[in-house]
Amino acid sequence: MHKNNLLALAYHVLFIAFILAPLAVVVAVAFTDKGYISFPTDGLSLRWFRAIWDATEIKEAFWFSAQLGLVAATIAVVLAVPAALALTRFRFPGRDAIQAFFMSPLMIPQVVLGAAFLRFFNIAGLSGSFTWLMFTHVIVIMPYALRMMLSAATGMSRDIENAGLSLGASRATVFLRITVPMLMAGIAGGWMLSFIQSFDELTMTVFVATPGTMTLPVAMYNHIAHTIDPLVTSISAVLIAGTLVLMLLLDRLVGLEKVLVGKG
């Protein structure tokens, strides 16, 4: 038993190291003083972090991606809440087919989705619009929000809701004051995963993005295609740090175990 525990511990250490090693290398390269990507480096410098402030296109793309992610994630969660409640509380013909339809973007390659959206937008003359780009992101991230909402809604007791109705509360009041708080872990987790997926989306977005709707991943991709400087690594390091801060905030406000595992 002791030997098995040591083997399990070694396996987990190696697995975690395998996952974290690329992130550590990216962060290390961001501090290079060279004008090109170099690892290991001879000296340390913050020049590429200062260069972010001079990269106007990158900053504009960042704020555009943040706005796009906020709107798309919020809409995805708003749509996922009633969908999850309907799928978990009612039995009706075609229920499994509807759930599979909502989850279908996970099964379709992003390249195929991007090519399909590009063709559709060209035919309909809708390219270059924030609204339609946002709709494409909602379609792609909807399964993440719905999956978290299904986990939160499955097995949720309706006794408290029925008690509220029996005491004279309206259905809207019961939904806002009882149902939504009971689903808050799923809402928070679904919104977080949806926002991250929207913010990081590249494969599909690169097909439909235009100079006026340039997201941060597309801008970074274009930058890599034309230069070899470490600016992208410094941007990645900032995003990694920002993600850690968001995770810590989520842990303090809701609890990561409650959001990701579903434990109360």
Residue-wise pLDDT tens digits, 88-115 = 888 888 888 998 999 999 888 889 998 9
Task: Answer whether 97's CB lies under 8 Å from 189's CB.
Answer: no
> Where exactly are the structural domains of the chain?
55-261
Q: Measuring CA to CA, which residue among 211, 208, 198, 192 is closest to residue 61?
A: 211
- Which contacts of 129-133 are long-range, i.e. CB under 8 A and separated by 24 or more positions? 129/213, 130/68, 130/213, 132/208, 133/68, 133/205, 133/208, 133/209, 133/213
Which DSSP symbol is given to 259?
I
CA distance 173 to 80: 19
Q: Which of these ranges, 181-190, 193-202, 253-262, has the smallest mean pLDDT?
A: 253-262
- In which band, very low, low, confident or very high, does the pLDDT at 80 lie, cut at 50, 70 and 90? very high
pLDDT digits (tens, 9 = 90+) for 149-181: 888 888 777 888 888 888 888 888 888 888 888
Tokens 């439909």 found at: 208
Paired tokens of 147? 């999956």
Exposure string of 138-157, with b = 16+ CB inside 10 Å and e = fewer, is bbbbbbbbbbbbbbbbeebe
Mean of per-residue pLDDT scores for the chain: 85
Task: Answer whether 197's CB lies under 8 Å from 205's CB.
Answer: no
CATH architecture entry for 55-261 = Orthogonal Bundle (1.10)
Mean pLDDT within 246-258: 73
